[in-house]
Amino acid sequence: MDIAVGDVLKLRKKHPCGADTWTVMRVGMDFRLACTGCGHQIMLPRRQVEKNIRQIIRPEE
């Protein structure tokens, strides 16, 4: 899967703040994601993130 830093991911489950989109901060074996609603950052394994993606929103260049 081609995911880059700066992409916005729409995931299956919502964050407790109500947002379901996350900005990619780091890519590797783990992903660092920042919630677009409240700014909370989490690190998740690549396998879990790729399984839960609904949509990839690429930033306009």
pLDDT tens column, 22-50: 999 999 999 999 999 999 999 999 999 99
Q: What is the pLDDT of residues 48-58, one digit of tens each?
A: 999 999 999 98
pLDDT of residue 60 exceeding 80, the answer is no
Band of the pLDDT at 61, cuts 50, 70, 90?
low
Domain boundaries along the sequence of the chain = 8-56
Q: How far is CA 60 from CA 6, 18, 50, in A?
A: 10, 25, 22
d(CA 20, CA 51): 15
Residue 17 predicted with pLDDT over 80: yes
33 class by beta-carbon count within 10 Å (0-12 exposed, 13-18 middle, 19+ buried): buried
